[in-house]
Structure formats: structure tokens, C-alpha cells
């Protein structure tokens, strides 16, 4: 067995050990992401991270050099965190336990990578490794806070559209009143699933397509307000169709299943932004080269 093969076998063994010991939080996270729309994006993270690492594997394998000290430190932190969650399991809510245990599992995966393949290799694969933390489910209190922010943003963006089009509007918290209709921006209207999907998609595309760090940050920072604007547009369109065309739009199929249309609009806008940023990225690189 060659040195490269031994290092890869060691990494596979440590990852397999982590799943053997931490199979319960891993499975619980997958079940949660398949049942709760706030966590659906988790199902995408592991395949995306694995694909990004595999894509660069030929370059990465030329830099394999174990970092025992750094890797062992990561593994120790992971073990301590998992032990803390187990010892205090009786006093910690289940969602908090799951957050800690999945964080420990991700830290173990990163630590195993550093231990077997080295810190230089880990730096080259930093994005897909850090992206694994997106698999950690946020506790309920954090998700509830995000949903409220999305509700508020969606209500304000919808109100702005009504004002722009000259439609009388009154707002009371999450209630929007226009002639002939009062709309409540409920939790379901926050579209947290599509918002998280748009954010993850933007993260990956920005990493793959852009070079400049500030352009990547700009693209990702625009994803959140774009998602809120998309929610506001959806509320505006449904309200206008329901009051001007057919009241059935307020409760029908378009209301409940039309989210994909507005997600596609937001995704198209993001593609356009990334195209512009990529063009500017290329021009900037050429100017530096000259």
C-alpha cells in the first residue's frame, strides 16, 4: 500500500468511526431535514462538499502531509463537545443537544482531514470543509428568530410594492390591508426553505465562479435581501390576482404551490448578478496581470 493510500485509508477509517459513534445525531439530522422545511437545505450540503473536494482531489493529493498536532486538537475539541452534550443531556433541550452533537461531528470530520492529509491540504479545501457546518441544525430559538425576521422583511417589501403601484395600504405588524383584502404574513409566508436554498446555491456558485473575495461576499450578502424581495413579490402578486382577477388565487393552487415560480425569478436575478461580477472579476484579473 502506497503512502497516499495509507493516508486515504486512515481518513476513511476516522470518518467511519465518527459515523459509528455519532450515527444517532447524524440520522436525527437527516430525519429533521426531510420533515421540516427550515432544514431542507441540509440534505444538499454533504453531496456538494464531497463533490467540491473530489473536483480538486488531483491537486489536493500532491500536498498530502499529515498534521498530527493540529488534527489531534480538532479531534479533542470534538470529543469534549460530544461528551458535554451527553453528560448534560438531561438538562439540555433535544434541539440544543442535536446542534452540539452535529457540530462535534463536523469538527471531527475536519480534524480527521487535517490529521491525515495536512493543514496545507485543508486550506485548499477550506470552503467545502467549512460548508459542512451548514449541516448543523440551528436550535429552535434561532430558527424562530430567523422566521420572524423573514416575515417582517416580507411584509415591508410587499408594502413597498403596493406603495410603488399606488395602491392604498395599511400595515399593522404582519397584517397588510388593501382595498378589499387583509393579508397576514404568516410563518409559512417567510419562505425559509427557499431562502436557505437560495443562500446555499449562491454560496456554491460564488465560490465556483468568482475569484475576488469581496465579490463573493457581495453576492452572498445580496442573496438574503433578494430572497426577502422575492417573498414580498409573491405576496403582492397573489393579493393583486385575488382582488383584481379571481378570489380563488388567494387560497388556490397558485398560492400554495407557486413558490417555485418566484424562487426561479430570484435565482435568475442571482445568476445575472454573478455573471456581471464574473465579468468584472475577469477584467480585474487581466488588469493585475498587465
Structure confidence by residue, pLDDT tens digits, 27-57: 999 999 999 888 999 999 999 999 999 888 8
pLDDT band, residue 259 (cuts 50/70/90)? confident
Structure confidence by residue, pLDDT tens digits, 96-146: 999 999 999 999 999 999 999 999 899 989 999 999 999 999 999 999 999
The ranges assigned to domains in the chain are: 3-137, 142-289
Number of H helices, E strands in the chain: 13, 3
Residue 226 phi/psi, 5-degree rounding, is: -65, -40
Element (H, E) at 204: helix 192-209
pLDDT band, residue 289 (cuts 50/70/90)? very low
Structure confidence by residue, pLDDT tens digits, 136-182: 999 999 999 999 999 999 999 999 999 999 999 998 888 999 988 88
pTM confidence score? 0.85
Contacts 24+ apart (CB under 8 A), 118-122: 118/63, 118/64, 118/65, 118/66, 118/67, 119/67, 119/70, 120/63, 120/65, 121/60, 121/63, 121/64, 121/65, 122/67
Cell numbers standing for residue 32: 429533521
pLDDT band, residue 282 (cuts 50/70/90)? low
Report the percentage of the chain scoring pLDDT > 70: 95
Given this model, what pLDDT does residue 251 score?
Answer: 79
Residue 41 phi/psi, 5-degree rounding, is: -60, -20
Q: Specify burial of residue 151 (Cβ count, 10 A radius: 0-12, 13-18, 19+).
A: buried
Cβ-Cβ contacts under 8 Å for 283 (sequence gap 6 or more): none
Cβ-Cβ contacts under 8 Å for 8 (sequence gap 6 or more): 116
Largest Cα separation within the chain, whole Å, is 76
Q: Do you know the residue count of the chain?
A: 290
Amino acid at each position: 500500500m502506497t503512502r497516499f493510500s495509507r493516508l486515504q485509508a486512515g481518513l476513511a477509517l476516522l470518518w467511519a468511526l465518527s459515523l459509528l459513534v455519532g450515527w444517532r445525531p447524524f440520522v436525527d439530522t437527516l430525519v429533521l431535514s426531510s420533515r421540516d422545511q427550515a432544514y431542507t437545505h441540509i440534505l444538499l450540503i454533504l453531496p456538494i462538499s464531497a463533490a467540491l473536494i473530489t473536483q480538486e482531489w488531483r491537486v489536493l493529493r500532491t500536498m498530502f502531509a499529515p498534521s498530527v498536532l493540529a488534527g489531534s486538537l480538532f479531534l479533542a475539541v470534538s470529543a469534549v463537545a460530544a461528551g458535554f452534550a451527553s453528560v448534560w443531556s438531561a438538562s439540555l433541550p433535544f434541539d440544543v443537544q442535536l446542534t452540539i452533537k452535529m457540530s462535534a461531528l463536523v469538527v471531527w470530520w475536519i480534524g480527521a482531514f487535517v490529521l491525515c492529509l495536512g493543514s496545507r491540504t485543508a486550506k485548499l479545501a477550506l470552503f467545502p470543509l467549512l460548508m459542512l457546518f451548514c449541516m448543523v441544525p440551528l436550535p429552535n430559538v434561532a430558527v424562530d428568530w430567523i422566521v420572524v425576521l423573514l416575515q417582517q422583511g416580507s411584509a415591508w417589501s410587499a408594502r413597498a410594492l403596493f406603495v410603488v403601484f399606488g395602491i392604498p395600504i395599511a400595515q399593522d405588524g404582519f397584517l397588510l390591508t388593501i382595498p378589499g383584502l387583509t393579508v397576514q404574513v404568516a410563518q409559512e409566508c417567510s419562505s425559509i426553505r427557499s431562502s436557505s436554498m437560495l443562500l446555499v446555491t449562491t454560496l456554491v456558485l460564488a465560490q465556483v465562479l468568482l475569484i475576488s473575495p469581496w465579490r463573493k461576499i457581495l453576492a452572498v450578502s445580496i442573496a438574503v435581501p433578494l430572497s426577502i424581495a422575492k417573498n414580498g413579490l409573491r405576496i403582492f402578486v397573489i393579493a393583486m390576482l385575488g382582488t383584481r382577477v379571481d378570489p380563488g388565487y388567494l387560497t388556490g393552487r397558485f398560492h400554495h404551490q407557486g413558490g417555485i415560480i418566484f424562487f426561479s425569478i430570484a435565482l435568475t436575478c442571482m445568476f445575472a448578478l454573478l455573471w456581471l461580477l464574473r465579468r468584472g472579476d475577469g477584467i480585474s484579473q487581466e488588469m493585475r496581470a498587465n
